[in-house]
């Protein structure tokens, strides 16, 4: 199954709107740096927490794009519409975009 991909520059444009961005990295990575507004669901937890995902298009992000692609493939096979963010959070930070860090505040 072919999963569409976007880069961090396109993600930055999309964040001006209301998108569902899912960060599938491990908790320590998420606390270290994350794209503002990203919802954290680690890759290993996607199957058991899929019911928490919004019923709309999902943008998946990880460190560089590999784990988020796996999550997108898993979800797309189960009916979700997903786009992978190539370059991931590392690419986001390296490009100089603003990021959050520390524990997430709900």
Query: Which residues does the annotation mark as catalytic?
Result: 62
CA distance 77 to 18: 24
Please give the full DSSP string across 42-74, using - where no structure is assigned: -GGGHHHHGGGS-SS-EEEE-SSSHHHHHHHHH
If phi > 0 it is left, if psi is from -120 to 50 it is alpha, else beta; for residue 96 that is left
Of 85, 17, 92, 21, residue with least CA distance to 58? 21
Listed in sequence order, the residues at least 6 apart from 27 whose beta carbon sits closer than 8 Å to its beta carbon are 40, 42
């Amino acid at each position: 199954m072919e999963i569409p991909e976007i880069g961090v520059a396109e993600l930055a444009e999309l964040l001006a709107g209301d998108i569902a961005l899912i960060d599938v990295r491990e908790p320590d990575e998420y606390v270290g740096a994350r794209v503002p507004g990203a919802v954290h669901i680690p890759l290993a937890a996607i199957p058991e927490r899929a019911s928490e995902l919004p019923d709309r298009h999902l943008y998946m992000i990880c460190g560089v794009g590999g784990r988020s692609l796996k999550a997108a493939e898993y979800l797309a096979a189960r009916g979700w519409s997903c786009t992978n963010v190539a370059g991931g959070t590392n690419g986001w930070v390296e490009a100089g975009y603003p990021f959050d860090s520390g524990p997430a505040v709900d």
